[in-house]
Structure 1
Amino acid sequence: MKQRISALGLDVGRRRIGVAGCDGTGLIATGLFTIERQSFQQVVEQLQAIARERQVQVLVIGLPYCMDGHLGQQARQVQKFVHRITPLLNLPVVYVDERLTSVQAEELIEAERRVSHDKGLIDRKAAALILQRWLDEGAQRPDLMESDRVTP
């Protein structure tokens, strides 16, 4: 029997954080909401509330590698944010390469005949793509859970 999994996917940006969750089977990721970043404390409180409510076991964070595979300024900002928030959420963190997820999200929205000017919707879809990528790569495998784990 497959173990229940509760993960949150985060697409961390300067102004917004897209948040996605998965069903208990770990098969399907869905965009939940977008956090408009007003203060660090406000972000922490929102993430703590959703983590409690959904009994989250792991955070899956999109890491924006440059196209050539190295970590640029935005990736370092995401890592800095994650290192600040990890002890406050007390959850393991894994990073997933998020290259082109925002582009994919916009394409999905356009394919659904929606207007893609809603940046929050794009962030939610990107977070769902990040989480889905992790789920598809075998989230239940211990080696994947450990490979990019950040500890508080």
Structure 2
Amino acid sequence: MPETTQIPQRIASVMGFDFGTRRIGISIGQRLIGSATALSPIKARDGVPDWEQLEKVIEEWQPDAFVTGLPLNMDGTPSEMSRRAAKFARRLEGRFHRPSYTHDERLTSYEAKRQVMEESGYQNFGDYSVDGLAACLILESWMSEHPKAGENE
């Protein structure tokens, strides 16, 4: 379910989310350089975030838009989790009045776990670093599909 929407060039700073039922990974990225940095995840209760805590993060980083990973089934069909992630993305837009996009995130959590294991040998995936890394991978993938033109272009 790739996006065909043209993303406005004014969107420079983007906040990415790896939606989960217990934790939501967060990253912040800049479209001009196409790179993202992991932030501390926020806790969720059955997929409902601590909206007050999330508001503080958004106020601190002031992103122009949001990107939420959409965990589709391997055949590209929606899953229950992808429906919940899409609902979260819509709520972000409604609450914070910024554009909110979704992006196919199949295998990003597996890739994040692989990277953590490769870099540190650490295998306790309850570690928050996996959530933030997955959010970075989602956001960087989205930014590579929607690059921001440079000032001289």
Instruction: Pick one of 78, 98, 114 that aligns with 1:107.
Output: 114
Establish whether residue 82 from structure 1 lines up as the match of residue 89 from structure 2.
yes
- Residue equivalent to 1:127: 135
How far the C-alpha of 1:23 sits from its partner, in A, is 4.1
Paired residue for 2:23, among 16, 24, 31? 16
User: In the alignment, which residue of structure 1 is the partner of 2:145?
Assistant: 137
CA apart distance, 1:38? 4.5
> Given that residues 86 and 92 in structure 1 are in contact (C-alpha distance below 8 angstroms), is that contact kept between their aligned partners in structure 2?
yes
Deviates more, 1:50-59 or 1:75-84: 75-84
The worse-fitting range, judged by mean Cα deviation, of 50-59 and 22-31 is: 22-31
Match of 2:61 among 28, 49, 54: 54
Larger fraction in helix: 1
- 2:73·2:79 contact (CA, 8 Å) conserved in 1? yes
SS in 2 for 1:47: helix
Secondary structure of 2:68's aligned partner: strand
Change (3 A) 1:84 1:55: closer
Deviations 1:100-120 (A, max 9, x none): 000000111111124131432
Paired residues in the alignment total: 140
C-alpha RMSD of matched pairs (Å): 2.4
Contact kept, 8 Å, 1:44 with 1:85, in 2: the verdict is no
Match of 1:68 in 2: 75
Deviations, residues 112-137 of structure 1 (Å, cap 9, x unaligned): 12413143221111000000101111
Asked if 1 retains the 8 angstrom alpha-carbon contact of 2:15 and 2:29, the reply is yes
Structure 1 unmatched runs, 5+: 142-152
| Cα offset, 1:67, TM superposition | 0.2
Q: Percent same amino acid at aligned positions?
A: 32
Q: CA deviation at 1:139?
A: 3.5
Unaligned runs of 5+ in 2: 1-8
| TM-superposed deviation, 1:35 | 0.8
1:35 paired with 2:42, answer yes
Compared CA separation, residues 42 and 17, structure 1 to 2 (3 A): closer
Contact 1:5 1:26 in 2 (8 A): no
Q: Distance in 2 between the 1:51 and 1:79 partners? A: 19
Aligned partners of 1:9 and 1:21 also within 8 Å: yes
